Structure 1
Amino acid sequence: MQKTVRRIFLFKTKYQIYYVIVLLQGMVFYAPAAGLYRVERGLSVFQITLIESVSLLLMIALELPMGFLAERTGYRRTILICNLLYFLSKLVFWRADSFALFLLERAVLAVVCAGLSGCDSAYLYACAGRERSAAAFSLYHAFTALGIVIAALVFTFGIGGDLSRSAGLTAGTYGIAAALSFLLPEAGGPRAEPVPFSRAARLLRSEGRNALRFLLYLAACALLTQTVQTAAVFLSQLQYRECGIAVEAMGLCYLAVQGAALSAVFSHRISARIGETAFTSALFLLAAASCAVLSVTRNAALSTFCVAALNAAAALLAPAAMTVQNRQSAAAFARAAVLSIYSMAADGFSAPVSAALGKAAGSGLSRAFALGSAFCAAGLVLYLVWARRGGVIRGASRN
């Protein structure tokens, strides 16, 4: 009885601490004006996109080695190291006033993202177990989204859009998150001995062949998520301007859009009720329809609603995608390394999607949103092909 109570207590403690951490890391107070912050500190739009491209390439290059590092050092220690670096990146961003410093910030952030990619979900999966993993991933994304909403409220109503204060406040919250990371317990009891590189390499070669079949699913998810990322972060502000929305009111639009991401908490419940294939297909249809409407409307309310719907589609898909990817990794001893392969492949698909949407936007927002709708429709086709080949059934049967 005492052992059972202790186990339940530890389970709850892990989630309380980790959810507080992701809540704090969602509080990026400068997010409603992240591009403007960089421009006011001397960067051109080209320099901003160049830094983002370098960061993405660096992240792809680091995915696999960071996955191996997570397996050898343990999920908890990797998360701790990455959260400390996360804090450092926000300090650099706060004080950055040149191309070199902003590039340094994104380079550190690339290391963090590569390290947490796969490791964070593997940690949650190990804590919650297979049966509770879907609910755990839903809460993970919901707490992140809640942090974003809180940050947007503070930015709009608390600090009056002060960019410097917003960056400093962000660094402070990330410092608290880094400190709380020291309290994270090990996942699933004492950490196992480090996995020999040769054994992990053999597994990854095997998973690499499986990943070739899994590329359809990864490509489908990348088409939707990167379309939403580009539309919600970059194109939406241009759409709002064409709709006649004042700059000071865009913070409220940002709140509505980010608030829609809180729907992630319902992802596992909806998926369980209507079925994984029907649920995921509906998300692709929602994203495609929203982009299609954005390509033809200049109505402020309808545009805000469609951008919010896009964000909700991506938020609802994320926990489901994490669950599927964890199921695909059959061997628990190298789960983070395998998930890093999946993340690296997804990043590879995402890069050209973002570039294509950006190029299309140069010819007009309508063309960019129409292309986004086509990308989401193509993602639906790829997903259905993968599912009909047994992807959902095969994934569900894995341990």
Structure 2
Amino acid sequence: MNNKRNIYLMYIIVFLQGFVFYGPIATVFRENRGVSIYQIFLIESISMILIMLFEVPWGIFADKFGYKKTLVISNFIFFISKIVFFKANSFWIFLFERILLSISISGLSGCDTALIYLSLDKNQNSERVFGRYVWFSNVGFLLGSMISTYIINISIDLTAYYTIIPYGIAFGVSLFLKNITDEVTKKENVKNKFKYSLKHVAANKYIIIFLVGISLVKEVVQSITVFLNQQQYIKSGIDIRYFGILLVAIQFMKLISVKSYKLSNMIGQIKSINMLTIAVFISSSILIIISNAILSFLFVSVISIGMAIMEPMIIDIKNKSISSGNRATILSIYSMIESITSSIINPIIGFVSNSALENGLIACSLISLAAIILIRYFRKINIEN
């Protein structure tokens, strides 16, 4: 089914939601509001658990009542969470903001890509479309980071205030989406939907190995590029005023993700993901021992770009592994598996990072090594099958 309007509107929504003006100083912002590094990771861990709990109910809701309704509600909560973030000044309010964010993300997770996937023509290259979807998100974040450089010079608090505006507009844009629902799955009751979806995942049990491996590398990338990178920059003598410029440079380089399908066409999706995960492992290992500004920026960039290139491939692999209805529910179960893994790994990284930056990077290096082993095993199984 072709529905270009849905695809273009989803591009606009993720573009607008890329305007996170406080992104370059996310850790510093929270610390200035009285939250420690350990508390930041603790909040992240709680968030992962909540996402895990909300994933499947949202997936069932989307399959039963439609993807548009799910996206509209989720984007509205996303918008409200940004208002709360701007007002937050303690651990508990930041936790409340993260609870709202978890509800929103679990609703958007899988539902956004399912809507896009079902809006495609059969002859369209789905990975290419997903690559553009990630690209628009990166462009939004790139522009937001560029603008944030000027906002930071005025006030750190304003970075959170101005972030509210594009998220409000993104919610408004979501109202114009066209609903796409599988009429067969719509008639099923909730119990049957969940039971059927679990059977589908169980029948394709090797995908679980892939999901765990991917969630491990995602958690490493999230930890380094969102939280630990700022401490690494400070250790390397980089002034906070340049954090936004560095993030802009990284976001600009991440735009290469729109061409990820060319790499997977040459050497295969899983082999490409494995190769990029190795790059994450090597980079995180090197960061442990260096304190040079240029090298720190270089290897943080490699980690961030590697994940950006992987993302369209991961989305495509997950969607193509589903050959029947209840797509949103199955994708939600996939996300739940990832969230379970992340909720275990996140507090470990947070705990060791609280004692020393180097300890956190060592943990990230070991976790990315485990991801390599799992992804290589998944690739071996796929070759054999």
TM range (shorter): over 0.9
SS at match of 2:255: helix
1:304-343 to 2 correspondences below 5 Å: 304-331=297-324, 333-343=325-335
User: Counterpart of 1:317 in structure 2: which amino acid?
Assistant: M
Identity in percent = 30
Q: Does the 8 Å contact 1:232/1:311 carry over to 2? A: yes
Q: Quick check: 1:300 aligned with 2:303?
A: no
- In the alignment, what sits opposite 1:63? 55
Structure 1 window deviating more from structure 2 (274-283 vs 80-89): it is: 274-283
- In the alignment, what sits opposite 2:169? 176
Q: Does the 8 Å contact 2:198/2:330 carry over to 1? A: no
Deviation digits for residues 349-393 of structure 1, max 9, x if unmatched? 122322333333345433433332332222122112112112x78
- In the alignment, what sits opposite 1:3? none
Q: Quick check: 1:33 aligned with 2:25?
A: yes
Structure 1 window deviating more from structure 2 (370-379 vs 106-115): it is: 370-379
In 2, Cα distance between the equivalents of 1:48 and 1:358? 8
- In the alignment, what sits opposite 1:238? 231
Q: Quick check: 1:22 aligned with 2:18?
A: no
Q: Does the 8 Å contact 1:29/1:154 carry over to 2? A: yes
User: Counterpart of 2:166 in structure 1: which amino acid?
Assistant: T
Give the structure-2-normalised TM-score.
0.92
Shift in Å at residue 229 of structure 1?
Answer: 0.7
1:93-172 to 2 correspondences below 5 Å: 93-129=85-121, 131-158=124-151, 160=153, 162-172=155-165
Shift in Å at residue 44 of structure 1?
Answer: 4.0
Q: Does the 8 Å contact 1:211/1:342 carry over to 2? A: no
In 2, Cα distance between the equivalents of 1:121 and 1:16? 13
RMSD: 2.3
Cα distance, 1:294–1:46 mapped onto 2, change above 3 Å? closer
Cα distance, 1:296–1:38 mapped onto 2, change above 3 Å? closer
Q: Quick check: 1:345 aligned with 2:330?
A: no
- In the alignment, what sits opposite 1:397? none
Shift in Å at residue 302 of structure 1?
Answer: 1.1
Shift in Å at residue 129 of structure 1?
Answer: 4.6
In 2, Cα distance between the equivalents of 1:242 and 1:159? 20
Give the structure-1-normalised TM-score.
0.89
Q: Does the 8 Å contact 1:24/1:147 carry over to 2? A: yes
In 2, Cα distance between the equivalents of 1:193 and 1:219? 30
Structure 2: which 5+ runs fail to align? Answer: none
- In the alignment, what sits opposite 2:346? 354
In 1, Cα distance between the equivalents of 2:184 and 2:72? 15
Q: Quick check: 1:289 aligned with 2:302?
A: no
Shift in Å at residue 276 of structure 1?
Answer: 1.9
Shift in Å at residue 190 of structure 1?
Answer: 8.3
Deviation digits for residues 8-43 of structure 1, max 9, x if unmatched? 7x42x2222211111001111111122232333343
- In the alignment, what sits opposite 2:80? 88
Structure 1: which 5+ runs fail to align? Answer: 1-6, 395-399
User: Counterpart of 2:176 in structure 1: which amino acid?
Assistant: L
Shift in Å at residue 46 of structure 1?
Answer: 4.3
Cα distance, 1:344–1:148 mapped onto 2, change above 3 Å? same
Cα distance, 1:255–1:297 mapped onto 2, change above 3 Å? same
SS at match of 2:119: helix
Cα distance, 1:277–1:102 mapped onto 2, change above 3 Å? closer
User: How many equivalent pairs are there?
Assistant: 384
In 1, Cα distance between the equivalents of 2:28 and 2:154? 11
In 1, Cα distance between the equivalents of 2:204 and 2:53? 18
Deviation digits for residues 220-243 of structure 1, max 9, x if unmatched? 111211111111111111111121
Deviation digits for residues 119-166 of structure 1, max 9, x if unmatched? 111111111256422111111111111111111110103562522222
User: Counterpart of 1:207 in structure 2: which amino acid?
Assistant: H
